[in-house]
Amino acid sequence: MAWHPTMTTIRPACPLDAARICAIYNHYVDGTTISFEEAPVSAADMAARIADVIDGGLPWLVLTDGDAIIGYAYATKWRARPAYRHAVESTIYLDAALAGQGHGMRLYASLLDALRTRGLHTVIAGIAQPNARSVRLHERLGFAKVAHFSEVGFKLGMWLDVGYWQMRLTPG
């Protein structure tokens, strides 16, 4: 599937998008270490996740090519305690067949803009290692690596590291 920039749009997600979002996400759940989930997510569970993010006042965006959802990005609270209310964790997934074509940059930039309009101060991204493509995307957008945890996940018969990248959304 080739990218046609004039045909792609970014819009807010809704729970009705859950099945297509699952189709994108479950590819990463089933056969990669990019997601630490170990079982595919159902459309009903994904719809609940989308609703929770939206009900929490945070953005969940989808990138569409015509009527087809080809990627999504969203933010969740970083931690529950009140002092963390200005920090969020970001997530982005693209249809695997479309990676490396500029979609991630455009979608992520829209997510960051949506976070800035909400007055948030910092965004944090956890990236399972190794994942050079995701690291490159985050660093091109202005994220900097701030932490690395060794062997904190176990999936597909191996111990996995997670690195954390952070970006300030507002002057500090």
Q: How far apart are CA 142 and CA 144, in angstroms?
A: 7
Q: What is the pLDDT of residue 106?
A: 95
Q: Which domains, ranges and CATH numbers included, belong to the chain?
A: 8-168 (3.40.630.30)
Q: What is the pLDDT of residue 6?
A: 53
Share of the chain above pLDDT 70, in %: 96
- Over 60: is that where the pLDDT of 1 sits? no
Average pLDDT over residues 132-148: 97
Least confident of 6-10, 52-56, 121-125, 158-162: 6-10
Q: What is the pLDDT of residue 116?
A: 97
Contacts of 57 (CB under 8 A, 6+ apart): 118
Confidence bin at 3 (pLDDT 50/70/90): very low
Q: What is the mean pLDDT of the chain?
A: 94
- Fill in the DSSP letter of residue 169: S
Q: How far apart are CA 141 and CA 94, in angstroms?
A: 17
Q: What is the pLDDT of residue 98?
A: 86
Distances (CA, A) of 13 to 9, 47, 61, 73: 12, 10, 5, 9
Distances (CA, A) of 128 to 44, 79, 125, 134, 147: 26, 19, 10, 9, 12
Query: Which tens digits make up the pLDDT trace of 98-114?
Result: 887 889 999 999 999 99
Confidence bin at 171 (pLDDT 50/70/90): confident
Average pLDDT over residues 38-52: 98
